[in-house]
């Protein structure tokens, strides 16, 4: 264990599995207090136990990021447990419908945006008072490589469009909050096989180059500890390539 994040409190939504689980373990190894939030609190509790077994400090909180009241409770429980909020990682998300453009129900569209965009904003809004009071903080919005012009492997239309909106939210919050000492950046993890892809269309993954989900550990720690500024979309795969670590996690789906 090192101490690059010692004494800091990091909230991770969607912290019970996938990217969230490995980001939580990574920041814990750097000395952070971790708050694991998700609808399935049992999964967060499992990660909490694993962090504790490694000598870290974590709590698990049930929170649906589409539920404003639960988000407010998440922030209160964080402050009750650790007294401050240094980092918020908006990782929890709705995978979105994979139906064709002529078939997506309005309710499915709304559910994706409620979690991915509205939820990210409300989480940021509710974490901000604790950050602004200390004139420091870092909000990290997890975005997607699908939200890049020219990207052709679109799994879900509402998910991809929502991540374009997340990039926009990152930009405007970064501009507005920079004078108050709070940084806002986006983290683009790349493409890994997690349960988030269980509703992928048939053949979507076949032959695709992918990463194992633990590939986010080193990039997220770098992002949180390096002087990267604000308003940045941080490319995890690009960072791994530049540090000779890309092949460590890469595989091709069968």
What residue ranges do the domains of the chain occupy?
9-252
Of the residues 19, 121, 151, 159, only one is catalytic, namely 159
Domain 9-252 has CATH 3.40.50.2300: no
- Under DSSP, the state recorded for 142 is E
Whether the predicted model's global pTM rises above the 0.85 cut? yes
Q: How does the average pLDDT of the chain come out, rounded?
A: 95
Average pLDDT score over residue span 176-188: 98
Backbone angles phi, psi at 235, to 5 degrees: -95, 105
**25 contact partners, CB below 8 Å, separation of at least 6:** 47, 50, 51, 54, 217
Per-residue pLDDT at 228 exceeds 60: yes
Per-residue pLDDT of 82-112, as tens digits, reads 999 999 999 999 999 999 999 999 999 999 9
For the question of residue 159 being annotated catalytic, the response is yes
What would the mean pLDDT of 230-244 be, rounded to a whole number?
97
In the chain, the percentage of residues whose pLDDT exceeds 70 is 98
Q: What is the pLDDT of residues 241-252, one digit of tens each?
A: 999 999 999 988
- pLDDT exceeds cutoff 90 at 204: no
Q: To the nearest 10°, report the CA torsion of 117, 120, 122, 125.
A: -130
Give dist(CA 114, CA 11) in Å, integer: 19
pLDDT, average across residues 130-159: 94
Q: What confidence score (pLDDT) does residue 38 get?
A: 97
pLDDT of residue 1: 57
pLDDT higher than threshold 60 for residue 231: yes
Instruction: Determine the pLDDT at residue 191.
Output: 85
Distances in whole angstroms, Cα of residue 68 to Cα of each of 40, 118, 119? 17, 9, 8
Give the least confident one: 137-151, 168-182, 200-214: 200-214
Contact between 238 and 219 (Cβ < 8 Å)? no
User: Do residues 1 and 192 lie in contact, with contact meaning Cβ atoms separated by under 8 Å?
Assistant: no
Q: What is the mean pLDDT of residues 176-193?
A: 94
């Amino acid at each position: 264990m090192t101490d690059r994040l010692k004494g800091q409190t990091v909230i991770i939504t969607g912290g019970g599995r996938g990217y969230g689980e490995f980001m939580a373990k990574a920041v814990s190894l750097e000395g952070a207090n971790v708050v694991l939030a998700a609808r399935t609190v049992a999964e967060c509790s499992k990660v909490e136990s694993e962090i504790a077994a490694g000598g870290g400090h974590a709590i698990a909180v049930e929170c649906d990021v589409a539920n404003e009241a639960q988000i407010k409770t998440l922030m209160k429980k964080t402050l009750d447990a650790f007294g401050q909020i240094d980092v918020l990682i908006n990782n929890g998300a709705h995978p979105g419908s994979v139906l064709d453009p002529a078939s997506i129900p309005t309710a499915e569209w709304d559910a994706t945006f409620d979690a991915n965009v509205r939820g990210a904003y409300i989480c940021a809004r509710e974490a901000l008072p604790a950050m602004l009071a200390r004139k420091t903080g870092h909000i990290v919005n997890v975005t997607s490589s699908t939200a890049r012009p020219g990207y052709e492997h679109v799994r879900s239309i509402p998910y991809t469009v929502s991540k374009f909106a997340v990039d926009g939210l990152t930009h405007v919050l970064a501009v507005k909050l920079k004078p108050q000492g709070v940084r806002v950046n986006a983290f683009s993890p790349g493409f890994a096989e997690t349960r988030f892809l269980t509703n992928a269309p048939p053949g979507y993954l076949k032959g695709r180059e992918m990463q194992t989900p633990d590939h986010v550990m080193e990039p997220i720690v770098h992002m949180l500890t390096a002087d990267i500024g604000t308003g940045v979309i941080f490319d995890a795969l690009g960072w791994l390539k530049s540090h000779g670590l890309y092949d460590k996690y890469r595989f091709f789906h069968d």
